[in-house]
A = this chain, B = another copy of it.
Amino acid sequence: MSPEETGRLSAADRREQILTAASVVFGERGYAGGTTDAIAQQAGVSQAYVVRMFGGKEKLFRASAERAADKVIEAFRGAIAEFNANDDVHEKTLKLAIAYTHLVADRGILLTLLHLFSLGHDESFGPLARSCFLSTYTIVREEAGLTPEEASAFFARGMLTTTLLAMRMPDAADDPTAAELMQCTFGETSTDLITLSQGQSPLDDSGR
């Protein structure tokens, strides 16, 4: 039988697949709530394999969070590459915000990071959380060339966006108050944001 038929993958491919699954599960349930078994099911492998490949749940979460941060960085660098020489702050910020918005298509990325940030007290994850956040901040400051005030305002909006998404505010879009808040927050990037964030299948969960 060929590898295609047996469903066997190289370790690198399987690793990527498990990281994708981990992003979904950790994004929805956080570190403590996300089980290695749920990740295994999502990836279509056994729970034992997930644990062994990454050497434990903690290392898997680290890898998952670092990968999420890398994707944010990658997205920002992509937006910066599209800067024109005469772009003002508003245009730069908009391009960054749109890049950020596109990350929402993979809900797991931003939600995994949000969960990482909420673990600041943790001896192991705290330093990782701070360094991940500061990495992205540094790029916006130095590579995008925003001032501290502009960067702070940009991240403020980004965190509100992430939070609204985490609490699935788009699900409450029929509430006029919620609609007003989202309209104002997403602003110029809102056109596709709400549609992007809808219809993403939740995890289904049953015994092992």
Across the interface, name the chain B residue whose C-beta is closest to A130.
B172
- Structural contact, A168 and B32, CB atoms closer than 8 A: no
Distance in Å from the Cβ of A127 to the closest Cβ of chain B? 8
Task: Give every chain B residue within 8 A of A119 (Cβ-Cβ).
Answer: 167
- Structural contact, A184 and B30, CB atoms closer than 8 A: no
A48 interfacial by beta-carbon distance below 8 Å? no
A194 interfacial by beta-carbon distance below 8 Å? no
- Structural contact, A177 and B32, CB atoms closer than 8 A: no
Distance in Å from the Cβ of A168 to the closest Cβ of chain B? 4
Across the interface, name the chain B residue whose C-beta is closest to A152.
B184
Task: Give every chain B residue within 8 A of A115 (Cβ-Cβ).
Answer: 30, 118
A145 interfacial by beta-carbon distance below 8 Å? no
With A and B bound together, what is the CA distance between A117 and B120 in angstroms?
Answer: 17
- Structural contact, A120 and B168, CB atoms closer than 8 A: yes
With A and B bound together, what is the CA distance between A138 and B177 in angstroms?
Answer: 7
A33 interfacial by beta-carbon distance below 8 Å? yes
Distance in Å from the Cβ of A182 to the closest Cβ of chain B? 9
Q: Mind listing 24 A-B residue pairs with CB under 8 Å? A: A28-B121, A29-B32, A30-B30, A30-B33, A114-B163, A118-B166, A119-B167, A120-B166, A120-B168, A126-B171, A130-B167, A130-B168, A130-B169, A130-B172, A134-B178, A148-B180, A148-B183, A148-B184, A149-B184, A151-B184, A153-B156, A155-B185, A156-B157, A159-B159
